[in-house]
Chains A and B, each alone.
Chain A
Amino acid sequence: MMRMAHWRRAFSPGRVVVLALLTLLTLFTLYPLVWLVLSSLKTPYEMFDSAWRLPEVWQWGNYRTAWAFGLGHYIVNSVIVTSVSVTLILLAGALTAFLLTVVPFRGKALITLFIMGGMVLPPEVSLFPLFRILNMFGLYNTYGAMIVPYVAFGLPFAVFFIGAYMAMVPHDFYEAATLDGAGLLRCFWSIYLPVSLPAVAAVGVIQGMRVWNEFQFALTFIESDSLRTLTIGISTFGDALRVDWAVLMAGLVISVAPVLAAFLATQRHFVGMAQGGVKG
């Protein structure tokens, strides 16, 4: 009797509808990944001619060609730039979020506005002036030419997202900590940072993605091939008239794989950790 009721509840119409919709949505979002991999195994004309069918002959050679182009050192560069940028963004972002959301002091509103303004413009706008500024600081054509702007542009989002999460923490935590005489940094490092780890992890993955796929700055501010990142390396697989599309697809899969892996590995943590994170 109880089992029947359980069954009926398990398959209530609401639930079935939701499941069906979500499954449809999932197919809709996963299919492109499948398509990307399949396309990378086709010949260039197959890609456009029979875009939706399976490859006639699985062209594993595309990956060999893509790799032979020296993707190895591009990946190293991308890894260096991404890990350094993300680490800095998270540390600086979380600290700033803490200071702006939790700590009381004068001029907070103005500073908040100031940081917010950093999110407003698309990076393409800054190409001319940034080029000069980077030259001035001697950063042009170095890892710094990418890392510094990425941190500067990635900071605002980190601040606001982590800040929004920190704002959900009851203020008593801060009062209790300062009453105990803890300094700001201690309060941040031992209490607020751990508590907002889910938001921090989320921002880390997101900014990591952004930096890994970033094109405009990596292209304009870097000249030496030895510093090139993966995204730029792959974009060179063809010009307007003669693109080897299938090899390009293989390159894109190679580029997506690490990001996807990183996401899959960490997502459980940043969402999982939050469960029961903040008790009322």
Chain B
Amino acid sequence: MRRRDFATGALAAASAAVLPRGAAQAQEKVTLSFLHKWPEPTYMAFFQKVVQEYEAAHPDISIKMDAVADDPYKAKIRVVMASGNIPDIYFSWSGEYAHQFVRAGRALDITAALQAPEWQGRWSAAMLEPFRFDGKLYGVPMNQSAAVFAYNRAIFARVGVTPPQNWSELLAVCEKLKAAGVTPIALGTQAPWTAAHYIGDLNAKLVPAATRAADYTLAAPEDKLFTDPGYTEALTRFQELLTKGYFNRSPNAMTMAMVRGSFASGREGMILTEIVTLDPMRSAKIGTDGLGMFPIPPIEDGRGDQKAVTGAPDGFLISSATQHPKQALDFLNVLTSRANGALYTKQTGRPSATIGAVTTDNASAEVLQGVALLQGASAMSLWLDTVIENRIAAVYLAGAQALMGGTATPAQVMENVRKTALEVKREGV
């Protein structure tokens, strides 16, 4: 079956390159396989619409789409890759996650392709950066997200506080909320990646950017790997929020869903979350205007980059073994156009990465604020669990849970992280 596809694919590609458009339509059908991680009804409605429109406009191309939810996606993509049945277009988180595919030679280098005029002005440099490795571009961003603090306006007004401008102000706000009998921040770490938002951001603000980059990519020399005191300070500040009583009790026993539900019922003052979750939290209790947002406050004497924003795009990679690179790119072009980007945001509530796609027509004021934040960021600090190697991330996250459970100290956690990082570095992954 694959051999036949190869023959038709090669023929189609060759003729498409040589013959004028009309003649190419006389070719056999080209099939693109497309795997993404949004099977939910609202997302599928969008994707199916785009696919159908595309197929109608290009009768010689047929798109086979499959979608698998977030957690099972990580398993399925691996099974599929291992068997050699790589989809022509597949979803990937940016950063190290995408880098894995690139290193394994599974992703197509599209640097040259993206120079073409139809791609200009599509994305900001910040969106593309997380998909750039060794100077070459591999990914096409689909959406963008950032971690920000959402706050309950009514509670803030009642207690008499305003969104903090820096970390010490944040601590002061928390103290006031606590004194007024309100749980300051809602946190659920049963699924530990929520802690990654905090730790990743604190790392970015407390550790110099160059050191952090070297550590995350394991390029740093062995005796310096993860030794910067900023890392331990980050964990200490994170733990401090717990010991001072600013988080709800037992974050490890709470799932993010429970915590968001609780915040949306008007219980806590703040919650650190991604901008895509802001609008759904406007429940009847909190009111449509009852929610505001502010960026994670900078740390006054932090040695890192205070203007870095913890956020990331995610998007699609093209298989390096694809028989139809031109068609795949063309489809992605249509998928991420400004019009479709706007439709995507309107339909799913997730901000599209395309410039100009997110407007007041399809996004709330807070989401627009978040998008503006990303645009103005000096750099994006990607999600901690997708930016460092898997095994190290696992240890880091387990350590975060230990901190929340009071069974380890920041120094101990960093010691474990350092040990694992050394192991991984020595294996030469």
List chain A positions with a Cβ less than 8 A from chain B: 43-45, 47-49, 69, 127-128, 131-132, 135, 219-220, 223-225, 235-243, 245
Closest A residue to B41 by CB, please name it.
A69
Contact A131 B82 (CB under 8 A): yes
- Contact status of A245 and B257, CB under 8 A, knowing A45-B264, A132-B83: yes
Inside 8 A of B69's CB, which chain A residues have their CB? 235-236, 238-239
Closest A residue to B267 by CB, please name it.
A49
- Bound complex: CA A242 to CA B40 (Å): 10
Inside 8 A of B265's CB, which chain A residues have their CB? 45, 48-49
List chain B positions with a Cβ less than 8 A from chain A: 37-41, 64, 66-72, 75-76, 79-80, 82-83, 85, 191, 256-258, 260-262, 264-265, 274, 276-277, 280, 283-285, 349
Which of the residues B68, B191, B261, B264 comes within 8 Å of A219, measured between beta carbons?
B68
Contact A48 B76 (CB under 8 A): no
Inside 8 A of B260's CB, which chain A residues have their CB? 48
Which of the residues B75, B276, B285 comes within 8 Å of A242, measured between beta carbons?
B276
- Bound complex: CA A235 to CA B40 (Å): 9
Inside 8 A of A45's CB, which chain B residues have their CB? 261, 264-265, 283-285
Contact A135 B85 (CB under 8 A): yes
- Bound complex: CA A235 to CA B37 (Å): 12
Contact A241 B276 (CB under 8 A): yes
- Bound complex: CA A107 to CA B257 (Å): 55
Contact A239 B274 (CB under 8 A): no
Which of the residues B40, B41, B83, B262 comes within 8 Å of A49, measured between beta carbons?
B262
Contact A240 B277 (CB under 8 A): no
Inside 8 A of B261's CB, which chain A residues have their CB? 44-45, 47-49
- Bound complex: CA A235 to CA B349 (Å): 20
Closest B residue to A65 by CB, please name it.
B41
Contact B70 A240 (CB under 8 A): yes
Contact B40 A237 (CB under 8 A): yes
The 3 closest A-B pairs by CB, nearest first: A48-B261, A236-B39, A49-B265
- Contact status of A242 and B262, CB under 8 A, knowing A69-B41, A127-B79, A223-B66: no
Which of the residues A43, A220, A225, A238 comes within 8 Å of B40, measured between beta carbons?
A238
Contact B37 A128 (CB under 8 A): no
Contact B40 A239 (CB under 8 A): yes
Closest A residue to B264 by CB, please name it.
A45
- Bound complex: CA A44 to CA B72 (Å): 23
Inside 8 A of B82's CB, which chain A residues have their CB? 128, 131
Closest A residue to B35 by CB, please name it.
A223
A139 to chain B, nearest CB (A): 13
Inside 8 A of B285's CB, which chain A residues have their CB? 45, 49
- Bound complex: CA A220 to CA B71 (Å): 12
Inside 8 A of A219's CB, which chain B residues have their CB? 68, 72, 76
Inside 8 A of B280's CB, which chain A residues have their CB? 44, 242
| Among A128, A220, A224, residue most surrounded by chain B Cβ atoms (within 10 Å) | A220
- Contact status of A128 and B79, CB under 8 A, knowing A135-B85, A239-B38, A240-B70: yes
Inside 8 A of B68's CB, which chain A residues have their CB? 219
Inside 8 A of A236's CB, which chain B residues have their CB? 39-41, 67, 69
Closest B residue to A128 by CB, please name it.
B82
Q: A128-B82, A128-B83, A220-B75 given. 6 additional CB < 8 A pairs? A: A44-B261, A44-B280, A49-B262, A223-B64, A223-B66, A237-B40
- Bound complex: CA A236 to CA B69 (Å): 6
Closest B residue to A48 by CB, please name it.
B261
- Contact status of A220 and B39, CB under 8 A, knowing A45-B261, A235-B69, A241-B276: no
Inside 8 A of B262's CB, which chain A residues have their CB? 48-49
- Contact status of A243 and B257, CB under 8 A, knowing A135-B83, A223-B66: yes
What are 11 A-B pairs with beta-carbon distances under 8 A?
A: A43-B283, A44-B261, A45-B283, A48-B257, A49-B261, A49-B285, A224-B66, A236-B39, A236-B67, A239-B37, A243-B257
Closest A residue to B33 by CB, please name it.
A223
| Among B76, B79, B258, residue most surrounded by chain A Cβ atoms (within 10 Å) | B79
- Bound complex: CA A69 to CA B40 (Å): 9
- Bound complex: CA A128 to CA B75 (Å): 10
- Bound complex: CA A235 to CA B38 (Å): 11
Inside 8 A of B37's CB, which chain A residues have their CB? 239
Inside 8 A of A238's CB, which chain B residues have their CB? 40, 69
Inside 8 A of A131's CB, which chain B residues have their CB? 79-80, 82-83
